[in-house]
Amino acid sequence: MGKTAVVLGATGVVGKLLVLQLLQDYRYEQIHIIGRNPLDFDHYKIKETLYADLEKGLKEHPINGDHLYCCLGSTKAKTPKIEDYKKVDVALPLLACSQAKEARFEAVVVVSSLGANAHSKNFYSQMKGEMEDELEALDLPKIHFVQPSVILGERKEFRLVELIGKGLMRALFFIWKGPLKEYKPIQAADISKAMIWLANTPYDARKVTSSKLIEIANY
């Protein structure tokens, strides 16, 4: 029988492409989507479970499967309260990964961010670093944190500042060499492709930065 992938954050820019790629992967028999909002497409491999309160839903119905893909993430615009922001970006991944350990998942792959560091002065980097540290402490047998730079891809919501930033980064494509290669913008499709590769391939590094993700995606 094929594997079951559990995906959190499937409606985001990376999560949606991840699901589409998983559907085409013969190794997976079922893609279990768990979230608050439904996908805008259907497939015979997809099982979709929606909760108004994702934390409560997960606690009442622990996850089960083979590979966990966690693409959860919010923004200050969506969650202006710090406690709500950290619930999405730290508490929910911790809960899901704790359940993955209990259920003996073979692999866990989590979307983090380039520069994640619990001691950073930047709030976002500090939060992502805290999330990584919490999940590392679970001592899962196979877990990878993907740390992309600026993500290129179609989003439902309009983000003017991000759009301007992406335009400038594209225009400066010639500088993304040497020590700056980690900051080169990365396509969401490359991130999701690399995530699937990491889950299914023996690989020692737990933290996988942007340039390595691009390299993996283009093998």
pLDDT in tens, 150-164: 999 765 554 544 554
Pairing of strands 143-147, 151-152: unpaired
Mean pLDDT of 156-183: 58
Q: State yes or no: pLDDT of 165 exceeds 70.
A: no
Residues ≥6 apart with Cβ < 8 Å to 215: none
User: What is the value of pTM for the model shown?
Assistant: 0.90
Q: What is the pLDDT of residue 77?
A: 85
- Residue 179 and residue 202: Cα distance in Å, rounded? 27
Q: Which pLDDT score is estimated for 177?
A: 66
Phi, psi (degrees; rounded to nearest 5) at 186: -125, 140
Fold topology of 3-155+186-214? Rossmann fold (3.40.50)
Biggest alpha carbon distance in the chain?
A: 50
Q: What is the mean pLDDT of the chain?
A: 91
Tell me, what's the pLDDT at 66?
98
Mean pLDDT of 96-106: 98
- pLDDT for 149: 93
Report phi then psi at 35, rounded to 5. Answer: -175, -165
Q: What is d(CA 90, CA 205) in angstroms, rounded to the nearest whole number?
A: 21
pLDDT of residue 158: 47
Rounded Cα distance, 164 and 161, in Å: 5
Mean pLDDT of 122-135: 97
Query: Residues 194-203: what's their mean pLDDT?
Result: 98
- CA 46 to centroid of chain Cα atoms: 18
User: Which is more confidently placed, 108 or 173?
Assistant: 108
- Using a 10 angstrom Cβ sphere, with 0-12 exposed, 13-18 middle and 19 or more buried, the burial of residue 98 is middle
CB 146 within 8 A of CB 198: yes
- Structure tokens of 129? 């670093």
Between CA 174 and CA 82 the distance in angstroms is 37
pLDDT for res 182: 84
Where residue 178 falls among pLDDT bands split at 50, 70, 90? Answer: low
What is the rounded distance in angstroms from the CA atom of residue 6 to the CA atom of residue 54? 14
